[in-house]
Amino acid sequence: MKNWQPQGDEGVNTRFRVNSPRVMHERIEGEIIVIDLATGSYYSLRESAAAIWTELERGAGEDEIVAALERTYEATPEELGSSVRALVEELSAEGLIEPAGENGASAADPAPPAESGRRRAFGAPVLEKHTDMQDLILLDPVHEVDARGWPHPAPAGADGA
Amino acid sequence: MPASSSLASGLAASFAAACDASGALLAEPYRIAGEPVSLRFATAALRDRLTAAFSHLRADPAGEEPALTINLWDSASTGCAPPPHPAVPEGGAQGALYHFSEPPLRGVYQPGFESLSVLDGEARTAWHWVGSAFELAYWDQACPIRQLLFWWLGSRGLLQVHGASVGTASGGVLVVGKGGSGKSTVALSSLGSGLLYAGDDYVAVGLEPAPRIESLYSSGKLEPDHVQTLLPHLLPLLDNADRLASEKAVLYVQEHFPEQTTAGFPLRAVLVPRVAASRPESRIVEASRAAAFAALAPSTILQLHTADAGAFQTMSRLIERVPCYGLELGSEVGAIPDTIAEFLAGLPPA
């Protein structure tokens, strides 16, 4: 994907941000629930997918995400990197994240301390997508009205005014 | 004059003209979420169609200062021109909704439904205009002025959610899920049982000082074939039995089961229903908080259209504060209220 390529000497460190306010997300008992107001789709990310989302939200680049996953999961850096890239591409394609840009690209805060105990088996991240409520958006699309629309009354003689 | 002031004065003038034309100003006192609310209608035609859902919240006219005054009128029954509204492009979806938020004003305009709602939070005044009182959609009569109440409740620390709620005076459940998940079946199955009915589609939730349900509407809506097959004893009580080919079945609980309506009760649990018709009995099972949040939050956000991230976070706090369970719905619908009543009775004291 265009936005997830090595950048000169900096390595693979493109940073992303959640596409707010279009996208809302909450963590509930380790699971991330994401809703896209533009499409009416909502998503669930568990386990490794939730971990990657959390790192992306912190502003981590791929190297940092892989390093964080290595502390939790038993997998090679290559396997983790491949999984991270695949999920990032999917999240980008869905419009849930976007490149943070130069101004917004700040190094992530230090990752939380490594979990104690043994590392867990790694399962490829899954973005679970639900589209059963899209009709609510398609039937009743919401348009935010700017300063030229409301609250200024329609011009005299406008249809229905 | 700021544009927002111009809009407010235009709405006030339009409502005043409608009252002049009808020769009436019909003010009715209600108590919604514990607060006095005055609904002021320009005509009986609109009043009669919009107040059935609030009849369980009717208050005595004790001269209390309203926390909110809502002015409601239409053009068809008053003969008055529509109030000022935004110019919108033609050809959009029928339900297209134009929203603005410019404190203290907030408004929505749905040209396809000829519906305009504006709240002035500072003046504690709202306006609701529709094109015709005689052509209201059944859902607008069963759950009127949803957007206005959503914004006003939010300003008072309450959140309107997409869910059904039944219970007892000491506590009840919030049943959450998308349309068709069984919320209304659960709520309407309680009619004739010992449970109180707080709503089948939209209720308000407060979290402080303790989680609480506030009833908004005493209406119930269900697919007609579900009434016929699951709750046939309700058929004679339907408000729109002659229109079931094109509308959901609607009944007003206050009209037929006034002893079962309630202004609200403590919230003790969130239930996520799931049809399990292979068994006759219903039962309460474990459910993750994430599953409950996924059943509650997306449908609330998408149904209410103008909800923001704050509402999403409030629902997250709700799910953290209140225990969550699954409700497997067996084929004996009439036994569902007993399952819920036994579950509530078995909860430890709040």
Distance CA B169, CA B263 (A): 10
What band does A109 get if pLDDT is binned at 50, 70 and 90? low
- Asked if B9 has any chain A CB less than 8 Å from its own CB, the reply is no
pLDDT tens track for B287-322 = 999 999 999 999 999 888 788 888 999 999 999 999
Average pLDDT on A91-96 reads 97
The answer to whether the Cβ–Cβ distance between B107 and A151 falls below 8 Å is: yes
Answer yes or no: is pLDDT of A1 > 50: no
- Asked if B7 has any chain A CB less than 8 Å from its own CB, the reply is yes
The answer to whether the Cβ–Cβ distance between A142 and B306 falls below 8 Å is: yes
**Which residue matches tokens 């709700």?**
B318
- Asked if A29 has any chain B CB less than 8 Å from its own CB, the reply is yes
Name residue B204's beta-bridge partners: B160, B214
pLDDT tens track for B239-269 = 999 999 999 999 999 999 999 999 999 999 9
Nearest CB to B95; choose among A42, A140, A147: A140
**Which residue matches tokens 């939200």?**
A57
Judge if ipTM > 0.85.
no
Half-sphere exposure of A30 (CA within 13 A, CB side): 4
The answer to whether the Cβ–Cβ distance between B100 and A144 falls below 8 Å is: yes
Tokens of B166: 């039944």
Distance CA A99, CA A105 (A): 8
- Asked if B316 has any chain A CB less than 8 Å from its own CB, the reply is yes
Least Cα separation, residue B97 to chain A (angstroms):
5
Answer yes or no: is pLDDT of A107 > 80: no
- Asked if B323 has any chain A CB less than 8 Å from its own CB, the reply is no
Contact B119, B103 (CB under 8 A): no
Distance CA B21, CA B242 (A): 32
DSSP A148-159: TSSSSPPPTT-T
Chain B residues 221-260 within an 8 A CB cutoff of chain A: none
- Given this model, what pLDDT does residue A12 score? 58
- Asked if A157 has any chain B CB less than 8 Å from its own CB, the reply is no
Q: How far is CA A152 from CA A106, B106, B141, in A?
A: 40, 13, 29
Answer yes or no: is pLDDT of A9 > 50: no
pLDDT tens track for B69-81 = 999 999 999 999 9
Answer yes or no: is pLDDT of B184 > 70: yes
- Asked if B82 has any chain A CB less than 8 Å from its own CB, the reply is yes
Chain A residues 35-64 within an 8 A CB cutoff of chain B: 35, 37, 40, 42, 44
pTM of the model: 0.89
Average pLDDT, chain B: 94
Name the residue of chain B whose CA is nearest to A155's CA: B87
- Given this model, what pLDDT does residue A10 score? 41
Least Cα separation, residue B61 to chain A (angstroms):
34
- Given this model, what pLDDT does residue B258 score? 98
pLDDT tens track for B32-87 = 999 999 999 999 999 999 999 999 999 987 778 999 999 999 999 999 999 988 87
- Sort A157 into a burial class: Cβ within 10 Å, 0-12 / 13-18 / 19+: exposed
- Given this model, what pLDDT does residue B102 score? 85
Answer yes or no: is pLDDT of B205 > 70: yes
The answer to whether the Cβ–Cβ distance between B93 and A139 falls below 8 Å is: yes
pLDDT tens track for A33-44 = 999 988 989 999
pLDDT tens track for B135-151 = 999 999 999 999 999 99
- Given this model, what pLDDT does residue A160 score? 38
